[in-house]
A and B are shown apart, each in its own frame.
Chain A
Amino acid sequence: MIKQLHFYGGIHPVEDKVAQSVPIVEPPILETYMVPLQQHIGAPAKAVVAKGDQVKRGQLLGEAQGFVSAPVHAPTSGVIREVTTCLGPSGAQVPALLLASDGEDAPADPMPAIDWHQASPGDLRQRISAAGIVGKGGAAFPTVVKLSPPPNKKIDTLILNGVECEPCLTADHRLMLERAADIVTGAQITARILGAKKIIIGIENNKPDAIEVMRQAGADYGIEVCSLRVRYPQGAEKQLIYAVTGRKVPSGGLPADIGCLVQNVGTAAAIADAVCLGKPLYERVTTVTGTPLVSPGNWRFRVGTTYSEAIKLAGGVKEDPIKIISGGPMMGMAVYSLDIPIIKSTSGILLLSKDELTQFAVRPCIRCGRCNDSCPMGMMPGILSVQIENQRYELAEKWHVMDCIECGCCAYTCPASRPLVQHLRRAKAEVQAARRAKAGK
């Protein structure tokens, strides 16, 4: 019998992956795109075009500012109508460019293709940086930063994340089925940059077709595919490393400390595009799903497509949605406007109907300990939340609140419907502020 790999804790929510059999569709060119200059973690990009400028598809719109930043490229050809701000998925106003397309979708001169078998890791890193590639799993961390570990840390294993443990989302699943060869190429490029000997792709066993396809695509290159038992949050970096290799990232450490690096399959495909075709990152596969939608599915959206356009493409709604979530149901953020654009890290747009949404009344902790059992980081969210409510942030820090990955398992299992993740996030913000204040002194 095959050993079913998994990690400690976690939950198994209803999967609800209704769009998994719907192939990725290329949407038509829209009239306008609202392209935010901050689609990543770190400093926002600085606009290099002005109002009235003519741009082509793939042309640089904003250049990276500093090391932890990423450039932004034009999703189509057209005219910059306005340099403005727009509402980002996090609820903050971010600088953005309003691009009015001319309908021709004329491409800019692509960057020259690189023969990655011969190119030096430095050149490859530079290309990945210039193409504006960020982690497409959700955090949008600039990939080049991740691929530049300190020299004393040797990465021996590259893990590709095809887990997609979030319920409802199917974008990575479809991508693996349709672009397996590119994902394998991207993985090999990444492994070459890092000097990693081993490449493992982790996929949950509720996607047997993807496991089969990836196994075939990677067989000739010695890429191993790991079938994992379905468990949320298996797609979280530390949990995936443990499930696949049995190594544990130390508290407060990074995967590089134990010689691992995790990358999303979407990021690998984007790396292959950037290196082999010279194509910058200006589109991504996003799942638009939810019961209020007429036809949920997966689209290859250009960045800057607003949520309202995405919902229109999914056939519109048959009943009024009561909640719209950017991302998956577990870790996604509820949004209150449909003018928010799709960015490089938007993995899904989820609509919930009135029947699906429960309004919680928060009750006191009954000390049942279910949150402790479900926490994949081995924390005690319930007892921590009680301390955090009393502003004991130093104690929370001592109790490893900074290890929290905000997966939401604790809040999911809590019979008293306590907003545990929000408490933990507050404590993380306070601890971080205190550390900054200490460092500043």
Chain B
Amino acid sequence: MTTVILLTVTGLVSGLAIGIVVKFYGTTPNPLEEKLLELVPGANCGGCGFAGCEGYAKAMAEGSAKPGACPLMNDAVVQEICALLGVESEARKPMVAIVCCSGDDDHAQRMAFYNGVNDCQNAMLVAGGGKGCVYGCLGLGSCARACPYGAIEIRPNHIAVVHPELCVGCGKCVLACPRRLIKLTPKSAPVHVFCSSPERGALKRKFCSAACIGCRKCVKEAGEDQVSMNGALAAINYDNPPDAGVAAACPTGALRTTAVMESTRG
């Protein structure tokens, strides 16, 4: 009985003490920040470049971050935040990540059998991972583990594929890929070049049957202002992207509309 009384009294006194301290010494929460905190998605993916959603909300309240930086928010929420902050909303372009490589096991050669830690960064430490093309996807899933939304799948034939419907364009995978194969592209662009090797076409063909060989057929089809050549690699002009039809011109399938490449082995 004494114990109960003792504990009750201790609890009451401590509660009172905390109450007094908060009343007289506590910081008044910023009402704007509180409101913003309710509006941010709470996924803590880091796509905005701040330490989680709370950090972003704080930065916005202080005026050091723009409302459009969060890849997850829809336009309505951005509008609402803009109204709260009293700033003009900027036009946003939804982005999506793509893995610029077609070199799965059906198309690209593997020179060595890798039997180490199941991680691309680790594989890079031992003879570059043993893939013939030193620019190609290793398919060990560093990007897939970095993705907070589960949008990246490692296909059974060892290539990373982004599912655009799940991807929010936060860019975490871009940093996770040791080969720097992942790019953020506008969601509206219909075709992409799924190859990153700057080597000569003949050299690329040696290791990969789905590489961009620099034949310029797509440039002729779409025009210089839509597709240009960056050395031996075709590059889409994402400010003025060509339409999906240009993919038919590509002889290797490196330029295509979908991330998944049809298997040639059947």
A residues neighboring B (CB under 8 Å) = 90-93, 333-337, 359-360, 419, 422-423, 425-426, 429
> Which residues on the A side are within 8 Å of B121 (C-beta)?
426, 429
- CB < 8 Å neighbour of A426 from B111, B112, B115, B125: B125
The answer to whether A334 touches B117 (Cβ under 8 A) is no
A interface footprint on B112-130 (CB within 8 Å = 1, 0 otherwise): 1001110101100111111
B134 at the A/B interface (Cβ < 8 Å)? yes
Question: Which chain A positions have C-beta within 8 A of B119?
Answer: 426
Contact A423:B117 (CB < 8 A) given known A336-B112, A337-B111: yes
Tally inter-chain residue pairs, CB-CB below 8 A. Answer: 42
Scoring A91, A335, A359, A425 by chain B CB atoms within 10 A of each residue's CB, the highest score goes to A91
Contacts of B126 in A (CB 8 A): 91, 333-334, 422
Closest 7 CB pairs of A and B: A91-B127, A336-B112, A91-B128, A336-B111, A426-B122, A422-B116, A425-B125
Question: Do residues B117 and A335 form an inter-chain contact, with CB atoms below 8 A?
Answer: no
Cβ of A333: which chain B residues have Cβ within 8 Å of it? Answer: 126-127
Cβ contacts under 8 Å, A425 to chain B:
122, 125
| Contact residues in A for B122 (Cβ distance below 8 Å) | 422-423, 425-426
Across-interface contacts of A419 in B (CB, < 8 A): 116-117
Q: Which chain B positions have C-beta within 8 A of A359? A: 115
Which of these, B116, B117, B127, B130, contacts A90 with CB under 8 Å? B127
Q: Known contacts A93-B134, A336-B111, A336-B112: does B117 contact A422 (CB below 8 Å)?
A: yes
Bound Cα distance A92, B125 (Å) = 10
Bound Cα distance from A359 to B121, whole angstroms: 21
Report the nearest B residue to A335, measured CB to CB. Answer: B127
Complex-state Cα separation, A419 to B128, whole angstroms: 17
User: Beta-carbon contacts of B121-145 to A below 8 Å, as 1s and 0s?
Assistant: 1100111111000100000000000
Binding site for A on B (CB under 8 A): 111-112, 115-117, 119, 121-122, 125-130, 134
Q: Which of A92, A335, A360, A429 is the one whose CB lies under 8 Å from B134?
A: A92
Between A and B, 28 residue pairs with Cβ closer than 8 Å are: A90-B128, A91-B127, A91-B128, A91-B129, A91-B130, A91-B134, A93-B134, A333-B126, A334-B112, A334-B127, A336-B111, A336-B127, A359-B115, A360-B115, A419-B117, A422-B116, A422-B117, A422-B122, A422-B125, A423-B117, A423-B122, A425-B125, A426-B117, A426-B121, A426-B122, A426-B125, A429-B121, A429-B125
Instruction: For the complex, give the distance between the alpha carbons of A209 and B111 in Å.
Output: 42
CB distance from B178 to the nearest CB of A (A): 10
Q: A423 to nearest B CB, angstroms?
A: 6
- A91-B134, A336-B130, A423-B117 are known; give 18 further A-B pairs, CB within 8 A: A90-B128, A91-B126, A91-B129, A92-B128, A93-B134, A333-B126, A333-B127, A334-B126, A334-B127, A336-B111, A359-B115, A419-B117, A422-B117, A422-B122, A422-B125, A423-B122, A425-B125, A426-B125
Contacts of B116 in A (CB 8 A): 419, 422
Interface centre among B116, B117, B134 (most CB of A within 10 A): B117
A360 surroundings in chain B (CB, below 8 A): 115
Give A90 to B128 CA distance when docked, in angstroms: 8
- Minimum distance in angstroms from B12 CB to a CB of chain A: 42
Closest A residue by C-beta to B121: A426
Alpha-carbon gap, A426 to B126, bound state (A) = 10
Minimum Cβ distance to chain B for residue A387 (Å): 14
User: What residues on A are CB-neighbors of B129 within 8 Å?
Assistant: 91
- Rounded to whole angstroms, the CA-CA distance of A333 and B126 in the bound complex is 7
Kindly list chain A residues whose C-beta atoms are within 8 Å of the C-beta of B117.
419, 422-423, 426
- B179 nearest CB across to chain A (Å): 13
CB-defined contacts of A90 to chain B, threshold 8 Å? 127-128
CB distance from B145 to the nearest CB of A (A): 10
A93 to B200, CA, bound (A): 14
A232 to B220, CA, bound (A): 62
Give the residues in chain B near A422, CB-CB below 8 Å. 116-117, 122, 125-126
Q: How many Å lie between the Cα of A93 and that of B126 in the bound state?
A: 14
Q: Nearest chain-A residue to B123 (Cβ)?
A: A422
How many whole Å from A363's CB to the nearest CB in chain B? 14
CB-nearest residue of chain A relative to B110? A336
Rounded to whole angstroms, the CA-CA distance of A423 and B126 in the bound complex is: 11
CB distance from B265 to the nearest CB of A (A): 23
